[in-house]
Chains A and B, each alone.
Chain A
Amino acid sequence: MSADINQTITRIAEIIIDELKLEDVSPATFDPDLDLVDEVGIDSMDLATIALVIRDEFGIRIDEDDYPKLTTIRIIAEYVADKRSGGE
């Protein structure tokens, strides 16, 4: 489970770096607990873009109402894992 989560964290970090064209950071150095809004400066449009890629990659749908609580890469990874295991 832990290895799975770490893989998901790394992949989500890659997605965010690619989609937002972030510089000077790699999936390995991206702190998974960094607040994406308060620190990285992403907004709801960024999140919508990221959500589309995650949907395609992991086969899950991210409800727009859930955006506000998806504040870090780790939380997104746990959300993805939960959805994939059939949780709500």
Chain B
Amino acid sequence: MKTVSSLLDDHWYERYKRISKLNIRSSIYDVTDRCNLRCKGCFFFSSGEHQAAAEEKDITRWHAFVESEMARGVNLAILIGGEPTLCLDRIEAFYRRLPTFCATNGQIKVPRERFPDLMVGISLWGDAEDEKILRGKDTFRISSANYAGDPNAYYLYTITPKQLGKTETIIRKIKDVGLKVHVQLLSNDEGVDGFSWRPEELAAVREEMDAMLDCYPETMISSKYYHRIITTGEMGGRKFGWMECPSVTSALDRRESRPRRLTNFIRWASDLKTMHRCCTSETRACSTCKDGAAHMSWVMVNKRAHMNSTVDLQNWVEVYEMFAKLYRFIPW
């Protein structure tokens, strides 16, 4: 029988043991159905999720809800949808009780005196030109001023096909404001012309992401295996899609093949009652979904499928470490 220690040397085995018992149980929460931007390709609005449920406005219910989520075993709250920083009291309901990550467009600064170590992920959809086309403004100018040097914030850089050959400029800008960056790929849910990926572009962006990781290892939180997974949609000969996705809401998961999945994962709407199908848009085609977290989770829940060789298991360790760093279960 292949064991972990028979595949990994002492250095890698120690890295494995650092993460093997973290037992991360995440769920995702829409904090509000409003946003201060309207981005083309934002799945929350393009799929009508902002109209799926009327947000709960009674803050006492948010507090009670978080308690019930903790009782359900959740130990990582991922706050998204529409723009969480419009409702700081709701963020606080989570933050007071459990590790909390807040995805934001960065246009409103989270007050650090109130949320000293709240994990903040700032969305960025390319360079200023792309951002103006897709989001109506250059968000980086404001978000970088709000969060420069913040040790608990990083950029979630969504690379678009138009960014090929330009990513270094963005990554250097992020480095220069003292922040780190995690990369993912635009899924282009609204089919904006010129922003859908072609196979040769996916191959090229993989090479570019790998090169950036080599050049900026202290700035980029990533791994080459992750790059391979999100650009090919393949893992060990299996194709990513509905029958493989680990990030389907558990209570709505009727898949008879019972694929490996996140334990007890739910994506909640902001009425605190409605559940969304999965971590991203219900209208998105799963076979072309580029969601970075879903692909990371896909790797993470398939650990033993990576116990065939030393390299496979090292790849798994790197992806798990990346996830654990992004949500601060281990240091950068």
Chain A residues close to B by CB (< 8 Å): 20, 22-25, 30, 34, 37-46, 48, 64, 67-68
Quote the shortest CB–CB distance from B221 to chain A (angstroms).
23
Q: Which of A20, A30, A38, A48 contacts B304 (CB 8 A)?
A: A20
B interface, size bucket = 10 to 19
Report the separation of the CA atoms of residues A64 and B260 in the bound assembly, to the nearest whole angstrom.
17
Q: A22-B1, A64-B73 are in contact. Are A41 and B23 (CB under 8 A)?
A: no
Q: A64-B73, A68-B21, A68-B23 are in contact. Are A41 and B303 (CB under 8 A)?
A: yes
B212 at the interface (CB under 8 A from A): no
B263–A45 CB distance below 8 A: yes
Q: A24-B2, A45-B260, A48-B263 are in contact. Are A37 and B304 (CB under 8 A)?
A: no
Most chain A CB within 10 A, of B261, B304, B307, is at: B304
Q: B20's closest neighbor in chain A, by CB? A: A37
Q: A37-B20, A68-B23 are in contact. Are A43 and B303 (CB under 8 A)?
A: yes
Chain B residues, CB < 8 A from A68:
21, 23
Report the separation of the CA atoms of residues A46 and B2 in the bound assembly, to the nearest whole angstrom.
17
Q: Which of A24, A38, A43 contacts B301 (CB 8 A)?
A: A43
The A/B interface has a contact count, at CB < 8 Å, of 43
Report the separation of the CA atoms of residues A40 and B266 in the bound assembly, to the nearest whole angstrom.
28
Report the separation of the CA atoms of residues A45 and B250 in the bound assembly, to the nearest whole angstrom.
13
Chain B residues close to A by CB (< 8 Å): 1-5, 16-17, 20-21, 23, 73, 260-261, 263, 301, 303-304, 307
B1–A25 CB distance below 8 A: yes
Report the separation of the CA atoms of residues A34 and B4 in the bound assembly, to the nearest whole angstrom.
11
Quote the shortest CB–CB distance from B325 to chain A (angstroms).
19
Q: A44-B263, A45-B263, A64-B73 are in contact. Are A34 and B3 (CB under 8 A)?
A: yes
A39–B301 CB distance below 8 A: no
B contact face: mostly helix, strand, loop, or mixed = loop
A40–B263 CB distance below 8 A: no
Given contacts A38-B20, A39-B3, 14 further A-B contacts (CB under 8 A): A22-B1, A37-B21, A38-B4, A38-B16, A38-B17, A38-B21, A39-B5, A41-B304, A44-B263, A45-B260, A45-B261, A45-B263, A45-B301, A68-B21
Chain B residues, CB < 8 A from A42:
304
Name the 10 nearest CB pairs between A and B, nearest first: A25-B1, A39-B3, A24-B1, A41-B304, A41-B307, A37-B20, A39-B4, A41-B303, A41-B4, A44-B263
Chain A residues, CB < 8 A from B303:
41, 43
Report the separation of the CA atoms of residues A30 and B5 in the bound assembly, to the nearest whole angstrom.
15
Report the separation of the CA atoms of residues A37 and B18 in the bound assembly, to the nearest whole angstrom.
12
Quote the shortest CB–CB distance from B297 to chain A (angstroms).
12
Report the separation of the CA atoms of residues A6 and B305 in the bound assembly, to the nearest whole angstrom.
30
Report the separation of the CA atoms of residues A38 and B1 in the bound assembly, to the nearest whole angstrom.
14
Q: B262's closest neighbor in chain A, by CB? A: A45
Chain B residues, CB < 8 A from A30:
1
Q: B301's closest neighbor in chain A, by CB? A: A45
